[in-house]
Amino acid sequence: MIASLMRVAVVLGSTTFSQAAPADEFARIDQWVQQWQPTRGDRRFEEIGWAKDIPEAMRLAKQNGRPDYVFTHKGRINLGRQ
């Protein structure tokens, strides 16, 4: 029984993938991908001036007249998620 179901699945799968997708299907997928790209507002996080260590961060903050911010974490960052 399982072998028969597997044969049917293979035959259906091979016929489905052997047919070429219409050009408008590719255009629809391209449009969908473009809609899901991050917006300028979503990418604001990338504008943060990250530094690899504290002395470098302090030097850059002083050089640019900006405050520095140190974030540390100890423990599980995914508390509440399962």
DSSP assignment letter at 75: S
Both tokens of 12, joined, read 């259906």
17 pLDDT exceeds 90? no
Which of 16, 22, 49 is closest to 8 using CA atoms? Answer: 16
Q: In this structure, which amino acid lies at residue 17?
A: F
Residue 27 pLDDT class (50, 70, 90 cuts): very high
DSSP assignment letter at 65: T
Q: Give dist(CA 59, CA 65) in Å, integer.
A: 10
Domain spans in the chain, listed from the N-terminal domain onward: 48-73
Mean pLDDT over all residues of the chain?
Answer: 78
55 pLDDT exceeds 90? yes
